[in-house]
Amino acid sequence: MSIALTRLPPMAAQPHSTRTEEYAAAGRNARGEWRPDYPVRYAPVFQWPLRVKAFLKWLFGWPGYLWPLSSVVFAFAAITWFFFQPSMERCATFAPGWIAQIWVRNLAIMWIFYGSLHYYLHIRKGEGLKKKYDANWPATNSRVFLFRDQVYDNIFWTCGVGGIVWSGYEVVTMWLYANHFIPWLEWARHPVWFVTLFLLIPIWREFHFYVVHRLIHWKPLYKHVHYLHHKNINPNTWSGMAMHPVELVLYISVVLIHWVVPSHPLHFLYNLQHTTLTPGAGHHGFEGPIANGKVPTGSYFHYLHHRYFECNYGEATIPLDRWFGTFRDGLPEGEGAKLAEEHKD
Ligand SMILES: [Zn+2]
Ligand SMILES: [Zn+2]
């Protein structure tokens, strides 16, 4: 906790009484935070006895494991593979043309996904402050961030540096696939495993994220690497991959599993784009559903990590935080409420 406390950026000016009254009228606490009056819950997966009905509802329901988020990412990956991927023949030899194609296309994907969320929530302010966890908009004129601007800083790391690391993993892996240096799974020969692998990828991602995240909270790594992501106590869409290059390399290393486990390049692209796109949806700072209540999105689970630092390292499917005693459900007197000292204004 001490590390985090020493790295707090300056808070906005203390709210005066009028502002406090406005907060109270909007259902916010004195600090301006909006909190759900229900706890963060784990998906009904790793529970015994398994509640079959709840499990099926979670798997196939809306919102659930399959949609909308994972199916949107799958659509991005499929469109990428069928329409915008350099041919495997070209990928067999490193050359600027196809490498640039992958990089530019990935930036386009990123701007479509992150850009549309950011435009709707933070520029057009389509939801206003409704169910926005933090009452403040992203910081401007702040010495904490590059260019003195939180959004520009976040875009630099997420898109500028993150886009390069993302594309780097893809270029090397496509070269490996093209040269048959790594195993290639055929749909026609293993259809059941082909589909199963898609279903397992988000679970694998969550496990890998937890392990890497715990590692970078180790004091020396936190101090030199992970601190950068945690400047965003009030995250926005572009905070998603606002990470130090070392963290980006560790975070996206989730795709290295395809170098060992037989898979199709479409599995790899799905895993990669799940890793690089979903942080936009997990950091925008709003409790969904948004867009007239039609689009479920947001992660209070991960917002609590940005708010309190020493809790909720994973996500809400595999109860790793509960098993290791770091789960916080977000209610003032709820599970994990006394885990760590809260940040002081
Ligand atoms: Zn985060
Ligand atoms: Zn962290």
Q: What is the pLDDT of residues 223-232, one digit of tens each?
A: 999 999 999 9
pTM above 0.75, yes or no: yes
Distance 2 CA to ligand 2 centre (A): 14
Answer whether residue 223 is part of any domain.
yes
Say how many Å lie between the CA of residue 310 and the centre of ligand 2.
8
Collapse the DSSP code of 47 into the 3-class scheme (helix H, G, I; strand E, B; otherwise coil) and give the result: coil
Answer yes or no: is 141 within a domain.
yes
Distance (Å) from CA 240 to ligand 1 centroid: 6
Q: Ligand 1 mean position to 49 CA, how many Å?
A: 32
Q: How many A from CA of 258 to the centre of ligand 1?
A: 25
Measured in Å, residue 304 CA sits from the centre of ligand 1 at 10
Dist. CA 94 → ligand 1 center (Å): 34
State the pLDDT at residue 191. 97
Report the number of distinct structural domains present in the chain. Answer: 1
CA–CA distances in Å: residue 292 to residues 61, 284, 295: 19, 17, 8
| Nearest-angstrom CA–CA distance, 299 and 283 | 7
Ligand with smallest separation from the Cα of 281:
1
User: How remote is the CA of residue 344 from the centroid of ligand 2, in Å?
Assistant: 18
140: which strand partners? 149
- Residue 342's pLDDT is 54
Counting ligands in written order, the one closest to the CA of 233 is 1
- The verdict on residue 5 lying in a domain is no
259 within a domain of the structure (yes/no): yes
**160: DSSP letter:** I
Residue at 212 is within a domain: yes
Residue 128: the pLDDT is 95
Burial class (CB in 10 A: 0-12, 13-18, 19+), 209: buried
* Residue at 46 is within a domain: yes
CA of 226 to the centre of ligand 1 (A): 10
Within a domain: 20: no
Rounded to the nearest angstrom, the distance between the alpha carbon of 128 and the centre of ligand 1 is 22
Full residue range of the structural domain in which residue 286 is found: 39-323
Q: Which residues does the chain have with pLDDT short of 70? A: 1-17, 340-345
Q: Does 184 reside within a domain?
A: yes
Ligand whose nearest atom lies closest to the CA of 226: 2
Q: How far is the CA of 309 from the centre of ligand 1 (A)?
A: 10
C-beta of residue 183 within 8 angstroms of C-beta of residue 263? yes
**Tokens representing 106?**
């990935």
Which ligand lies nearest the alpha carbon of 7?
A: 2
